[in-house]
Amino acid sequence: MADRLVGKKAPDFTLATALGNGQDFGKVSLSDYSGKWLVLFFYPLDFTFVCPTEIIALSDAIEQFSDLDTEILGVSVDSIHSHRAWLNTPREANGLGKLNYPLGADITKSVAKDYGVLIEEEGIALRGLFIIDPDGILKYQVVNHNDVGRSVDETLRVLQALQSGGLCPANWKPGQGHLVAK
């Protein structure tokens, strides 16, 4: 198991990407997100069944994340060519269609390993989601079984709680007060 990541500098990375337009390729590093919040999430493989539901849901919520000065980056162990093929497959055919953020290709599996989500015997990543602050500090991580997709609403709630600057009790929602340390 990986060392604890929350509260520490996020592991650095540089990845080739397939841009959400389904045509272009790029490259991204953790340093590209300096000064912004980042939701970095891992999913097992392209062309699977649960993955498109959460990838599309995050893309559909891009304005809410943008309003919170937050970028999104999805990552799997697939190639940029597989990502592009999936982006160009219609949603009704289990494809993604166009997205509002890039998909990173972790072919070497090193980034998944650094973030503690690599299932080495299968060569794929667990569903791991990480929130990294503008200073590159990892503030939140959740890792779950690959059969269960993540909640965009919960990701937004946690992001807002982290940005609120206070002590947030269970089920805290934006607009609610903070706890006072005694």
Catalytic residues: 51
Q: How far is CA 104 from the centre of its chain?
A: 10
Q: How far is CA 108 from CA 15, 78, 114, 127, in A?
A: 10, 10, 11, 17
As a whole number of angstroms, the distance between CA 44 and CA 145 comes to: 10
**Strand 70-76 relative to strand 37-42: parallel, antiparallel, unpaired?**
parallel
